[in-house]
Amino acid sequence: MALYFSLILHGMSDLFFLSTGYLRASCMMESMELLNQSQVSEFILLGLTSSQDIEFLLFALFSVIYVVTVLGNLLIIVTVFNTPNLNTPMYFLLGNLSFVDMTLASFATPKMILNLLKKQKIISFAGCFTQIFLLHLLGGVEMVLLVSMAFDRYVAICKPLHYMTIMNKKVCVLLVVTSWLLGLLHSGLQIPFAVNLPFCGPNVVDSIFCDLPLVTKLACVDTYLVQIVIVANSGIISLSCFIILLISYSLILITIKNHSPTGQSKARSTLTAHITVVILFFGPCIFIYIWPFSNYSVDKFLAVFYTIITPILNPIIYTLRNKEMKISMKKLWRAFVNSREDA
């Protein structure tokens, strides 16, 4: 566990601080020259399409997806923390993942849905960078939580006799707190550079919300080094976490070969759900941040995928493939209905 988080933390900090000194020096002269020019106070988001008919269709679709996402993840949270049978490390981490997914879906989606009904989609300077901060904070938290869940499954399957000793309550809380601290570090290291760039001209963002590669491109200085920082931070961290997860799940799959057919089936079912979520979340992230100079029209559709689609897939994948969760949800619903009838 210590190795997992030291790799993430050291990779994040070292790559960032190596590039910060030269970046500050090279941008300072240009920033001073542009100081007296008018500053951008708002950005215009182009959205996904210019067709009004398609926007109305997307408004209905995304509204339904958002409501289902919030209710689905909220149901998982309520079920996990109100069912004694689910008082285990795996479901504790799953409940926290659902909270992050629900928040990740909410940081930009409501405004994006409302913008689908507007001709001009405007967001303030402060609102834009708030979106960027929350995106990278919650994205970083989710990455570390997924690594934590992989560690949990590794201990449960490879060291079952020591599972409750290793994955005790303090360790579970520590994993969650660490994920938030690393997410805050990941976001906090990048935002100061972007927010201090001089924006004095173009203000059109070709996306549905603000993100670093697109917004930094609009600065009035050469942002090549800023893009390198983005790769060193977001891109490399996403890729390294993904590789760590693949290695972890590969070791687990090798281990379960020695289990009974019943144990193999249950373990594979759980692992399939975890691996599916990992691929769906990390795939778009790696593509967007490891190649920040790529096709922006492709990037904005991938951004829709990991901010709108992935958060709704997580509750579907974890509940439909999990008998224990489905049984607990039915019991919770019956208890709710009975309490209403008694009242």
pLDDT in tens, 265-322: 767 777 777 788 788 888 777 777 776 555 556 667 777 777 888 888 877 777 766 7
CB 61 within 8 A of CB 53: no
Residue 18 lies in a domain: no
Give tens-digit pLDDT for 313-326.
Answer: 877 777 766 778 88
Residue 342, in any domain of the structure: no
Residues of the chain scoring pLDDT < 50: 2-5, 7-38
Residue 32 lies in a domain: no
Domain annotation covers residue 10: no
For residue 138, give its domain range: 40-330
pLDDT for the residue 20: 44
Domain count, the chain: 1
Sign of CA dihedral 78, 82, 85, 89: positive
Residue 120 maps to a domain: yes
Residue 293, domain CATH: 1.20.1070.10
- Taking CA atoms, 91 is separated from 83, 95, 122, in Å, by 10, 6, 40
Q: What is the pLDDT of residue 35?
A: 42
- Is residue 244 situated within a structural domain? yes
Please provide residue 123's backbone torsions phi and psi, each rounded to the nearest 5 degrees: -135, 140
Q: Could you tell me if residue 49 is inside a domain?
A: yes
Residue 80 lies in a domain: yes
**Residue 146's CB: how many other CB atoms inside 10 A?**
23
Of the candidates 100, 93, 99, the residue with the CA atom closest to the CA atom of residue 139: 100
